[in-house]
Amino acid sequence: MQTTSTASSSSSLVIVIVIIAIVILAGIGYLVYKFAIAPILSPPVSANSPIPVTATNNTNSLNTTVVNAKSSCSSGSASASEGFQDSTPLGYTCAPLETIFLNSQAMSIKDTGYIGPYPKGVFNVETATGYALKAGFRFLTLQIDYMDTKKDLINYDPPGEPTLLLRDSTGAILSGNSGSIEKTITAIANKGFSPEVPNSLYPIIVYLHIVRAPSQVTDAKGYLAFLSKIAVALGPLGPYHLGLNPLGNFTRQQLANQILTMPLKSLKGQVIVMCNADTSLFRNKTLNENKYTTVNDLDFWVNMRVTLDDEADASGITQLADKSDTPAAVLVSLPRVLALSSLKQEAFAGKGKQRYVIAMGSRTDNPTTTEMHTALNTLGINAIPIDIFTPESNSILLIANEYSDMTYRPKPAALQYVS
**Of 48-57, 275-284, 291-300, which range is least confident?**
48-57
Question: Are 233 and 264 spatial neighbours (Cβ–Cβ below 8 Å)?
Answer: no
pLDDT of residue 295: 94
- Give the pLDDT confidence of 325-378 residue by residue, as tens digits: 889 999 999 999 999 999 999 999 999 999 999 999 999 999 999 999 999 999
pLDDT of residue 22: 52
- Give the pLDDT confidence of 294-306 residue by residue, as tens digits: 999 999 999 999 9
Question: Are 162 and 146 spatial neighbours (Cβ–Cβ below 8 Å)?
Answer: yes
pLDDT of residue 119: 92
Query: CB within 8 A of 204, min separation 6: which ones?
Result: 138, 139, 140, 188, 192, 193, 240, 270, 271, 272
pLDDT of residue 399: 87
**pLDDT higher than threshold 50 for residue 88:** no
pLDDT of residue 96: 79
pLDDT of residue 181: 98
pLDDT band of 86, cuts 50, 70, 90: very low
pLDDT of residue 321: 92
**pLDDT higher than threshold 90 for residue 414:** yes
**pLDDT higher than threshold 60 for residue 215:** yes
DSSP-assigned letters across all residues of 204-238: EEEEEEE-----TTT-HHHHHHHHHHHHHHTGGGG
Domains of the chain plus CATH, in order, are 42-415 (3.20.20.190)
**pLDDT higher than threshold 80 for residue 82:** no
**3-class DSSP state for residue 414?**
helix
**3-class DSSP state for residue 278?**
coil
What's the CA gap between 166 and 123, in Å, rounded?
Answer: 9
Neighbouring C-beta atoms of residue 12, cutoff 10 Å: 10
Angle at 377 between CA 371 and CA 382, to 5 degrees: 85
DSSP-assigned letters across all residues of 300-359: HH-SEEEEESSGGG--TT--BPPTT---SEEEEEHHHHHTS-HHHHHHHHHHTTSSEEEE
- Give the pLDDT confidence of 173-206 residue by residue, as tens digits: 999 999 999 999 999 999 999 999 988 989 999 9
**HSE-CB for 355 with a 13 A CA cutoff:** 24
pLDDT band of 401, cuts 50, 70, 90: confident
Backbone angles phi, psi at 162, to 5 degrees: -60, 130
**What is the enclosing helix (H) or strand (E) of 262?**
none
Percentage of the residues of the chain whose pLDDT score is greater than 70 = 78
- Give the pLDDT confidence of 163-182 residue by residue, as tens digits: 999 999 889 999 999 999 99
Label residue 263 exposed, middle or buried (CB < 10 Å: 0-12, 13-18, 19+). Answer: middle
Angle at 283 between CA 280 and CA 285, to 5 degrees: 140
DSSP-assigned letters across all residues of 27-89: HHHHHHIIIIIHHHHSPPP-TTS----S-TTS-----TTB----SS--SSPPPTTSSBTTSSP
What's the CA gap between 59 and 146, in Å, rounded?
Answer: 24
- Give the pLDDT confidence of 5-41 residue by residue, as tens digits: 444 455 555 554 545 555 455 554 444 333 333 333 3
Helix (H) and strand (E) counts in the chain: 12, 14
pLDDT band of 392, cuts 50, 70, 90: confident
For residues 391-397, average pLDDT? 79
**What average pLDDT is seen over the chain?**
82
What's the CA gap between 14 and 390, in Å, rounded?
Answer: 60
**pLDDT higher than threshold 60 for residue 404:** yes
**pLDDT higher than threshold 80 for residue 232:** yes
- Give the pLDDT confidence of 317-338 residue by residue, as tens digits: 999 998 888 899 999 999 999 9
**Of 258-272, 299-313, 390-404, which range is least confident?**
390-404
Residue 272: DSSP 8-state: E
> What's the one-letter identity of residue 113?
G
Percentage of the residues of the chain whose pLDDT score is greater than 90 = 67
What's the CA gap between 220 and 214, in Å, rounded?
Answer: 8
Instruction: Using alpha carbons, select from 264, 260, 262, 251 the residue that is nearest to residue 200.
Output: 264
Could you tell me where the beta strands, DSSP code E, fall in 107-242?
108-109, 114-116, 122-123, 139-145, 163-164, 204-210
Buried b / exposed e over 278-298, threshold 16 CB at 10 Å, is bbebbeeeeebeeebeeebbb
Question: Are 149 and 165 spatial neighbours (Cβ–Cβ below 8 Å)?
Answer: no
What's the CA gap between 283 and 290, in Å, rounded?
Answer: 10
Question: Are 394 and 400 spatial neighbours (Cβ–Cβ below 8 Å)?
Answer: no
pLDDT of residue 198: 86
pLDDT of residue 178: 97
Angle at 218 between CA 215 and CA 220, to 5 degrees: 70
